[in-house]
Amino acid sequence: MPFGIARALRVIGVKEVISSIYPLDDEYALEFSTLFYQFIHMGSTSSEALSEVQKVFIKKGIGWHIWSGYQLLN
């Protein structure tokens, strides 16, 4: 099980947590979050949304170190 806030949320019953495993640039984090929730709003599951955002970032030429730090715990 993860540590920190993600673990605390899971312990109290939150079903899914998306978190980062290292500090991320605020500008990219905002873009990532915006896209992630747009995909959720369009009907994607959390894992599908995460994958789709990663694909968008790859197509934009955004380095792996920006988008690979996200993890979905469910």
**What is the pLDDT at residue 2?**
54
What pLDDT was estimated at residue 62? 93
Number of domains observed in the structure of the chain: 1
The identity of residue 21, as a single letter, is I
Write down the pLDDT at residue 6: 76
Q: How confident is the model at residue 3 (pLDDT cuts 50, 70, 90)?
A: low
Could you read off the pLDDT of 15-69 as tens digits, one per residue? 888 888 888 889 999 999 999 999 999 999 999 999 999 999 999 999 998 888 8
Where in the sequence is the domain holding 52, given as residue range(s)? 4-73
- Which residues does 65 contact at the CB level (< 8 Å), separation at least 6? none
Residue with tokens 């599951």: 45
pLDDT of residue 7: 78
